Amino acid sequence: MATKYQSVNGMHDTLPADMPKWRFVEQAAISLFENFGFSEIRTPIVEHTELFVRSVGEKNQVVEKEMYSFEDQGEKRLSLRPEATACVVRAYIEASLYNDQPLAKLYTIGPMFRRERPQKGRYRQFHQISVEVIGSDNPAMDAELMAMCDSYFKKIGITHLRLEINSVGRGKSRENYLLLLTAFLGKQSASLCTECQSRMIKNPMRVLDCKNPDCQKVYEAAPFMADHLSLEDAAHYARVKEHLDLLGIDYVENKKIVRGLDYYVNTAFEFVSDQLGTQGAVAAGGRYDGLVKSLGGPDLPGIGFAIGLDRVVLLANDSVLTRSSPPVFFALLGDESRRKFIPLIHKLRLMGAFLEWDNDNRSLKSQMRRADKLNARWVIIAGEEELKKGVVVLREMRSKEQRELKEGELESFVRGAI
């Protein structure tokens, strides 16, 4: 027997039954973001590995352990993108989009790849809508992005998320803080998990992210960046909160938010669900002033976030998101009937009607079963006897009532039913 292949661990098919939900959550985001003045950009899935080393961070776990990287026929080292921000910024610089407008508001949608340990809500191919604003350091922009993300979740009926915000500082005050944190961790290292012991050397702020409850107990007493900001950064953070209040957006401050990618400065935020176990972040982002410059562009500030669509789909309510049903199903019986009605079905479909018929010439009973499964509202039955009389039988599936309809009335009936 031929080998049966399975999809790669952590990478999934999206089957037809799930597509309406995916389309719904994607299209709701697209229409909302366009209303907020964002334009779509698409970039390749494969980029030079170096792009992520420089942006996400050389010692970052995503770059060190989770990227799918390969040599391109012994030439350049390439990687499947683990995230979209670096790609959008690369494209922005490559196309000199800063010459078009002082402020770029972009979004992109598509698959990302990280070789993480798969579990519910965490996959190796996952899907994001990533939103990026390049050219504004105004705290009002930080708040507006969070408000837009908040509106998105409300629009699609996910109302239980908690917006958590923090400031991860920058520059000299970050350096000073890291000294404080490292000193604290040095004293506590015996009580920390092995992962934290390794992180405290490579990327000390990331320890605060650890899911281990014993480590979390230790970190209750840790120094936090938000308490050690420079005056300028503290003022920025205060104004972000002021603007959130102005927009009526609820949030909680969480001094332990550190974010998993190295380019963040100042504002960091996450929309968190308690219904997804340890993978609770449904959207996350923050400021990345400095990233555009470090990738060879002008010195422009940036801020953005990405929504994890796989997690959104897990949370989205099933009942409103099933595939819609064809209002009319044609049960055509015999060659003559098909010859007569297939052109009409084709014409009505071209006019935008959602119609179904059975291409396999099956019995009336099995065609009715299919119509029922598709949840069709009306079935048009056209067999030899009806053709002789110049009529079709119209059956309302819910009430099971039937009546005859003259062939000449059929087209206008279908147009009225759709």
Site residues (vs ligand HAM, CB under 6 A): 83-85, 114, 116, 121-123, 126, 128, 130, 132, 260-261, 281-286, 288, 304-306, 308, 310-311
Give the nearest distance from C-beta 69 to ligand HAM in angstroms: 17
Give the nearest distance from C-beta 128 to ligand HAM in angstroms: 5
What 3-state DSSP class applies to 70?
A: strand
Helices of type H across 36-170 = 49-55, 61, 85-94, 139-155
Residue nearest to ligand HAM (CB): 308
Return the DSSP state at 227. G
**Between vectors from CA 66 to CA 7 and to CA 124, what angle results, nearest 5°?**
25
| C-beta of 264 vs 341, nearer to ligand HAM | 264
Give the nearest distance from C-beta 170 to ligand HAM in angstroms: 15
Judged on CB neighbours under 10 Å (0-12, 13-18, 19+), 305 is: buried
| C-beta of 26 vs 116, nearer to ligand HAM | 116
Buried-state track 70-105, b at ≥16 Cβ within 10 A, e below 16 = eeeeeeeebbbbbbbbbbbbbbbbeeebbeeeeebb
| C-beta of 83 vs 289, nearer to ligand HAM | 83
| C-beta of 26 vs 407, nearer to ligand HAM | 26
What 3-state DSSP class applies to 106?
A: strand
Buried-state track 182-198, b at ≥16 Cβ within 10 A, e below 16 = eebbeebeeebeebbee
Give the nearest distance from C-beta 268 to ligand HAM in angstroms: 9
What 3-state DSSP class applies to 164?
A: strand
| C-beta of 146 vs 328, nearer to ligand HAM | 146
Sign of CA dihedral 182, 183, 184, 188: positive
Which whole-number Å values give the CA distances from 289 to 182, 265, 267, in the listed order?
Answer: 25, 7, 10
Give the nearest distance from C-beta 175 to ligand HAM in angstroms: 22
Sign of CA dihedral 170, 171, 177, 182: positive
Give the nearest distance from C-beta 291 to ligand HAM in angstroms: 9
Give the nearest distance from C-beta 74 to ligand HAM in angstroms: 30
Strand 252-253, strand 162-167: pairing: parallel
| C-beta of 12 vs 377, nearer to ligand HAM | 12
| C-beta of 218 vs 284, nearer to ligand HAM | 284
Give the nearest distance from C-beta 122 to ligand HAM in angstroms: 4
| C-beta of 121 vs 301, nearer to ligand HAM | 121
Q: Which residue type sits at 196?
A: C
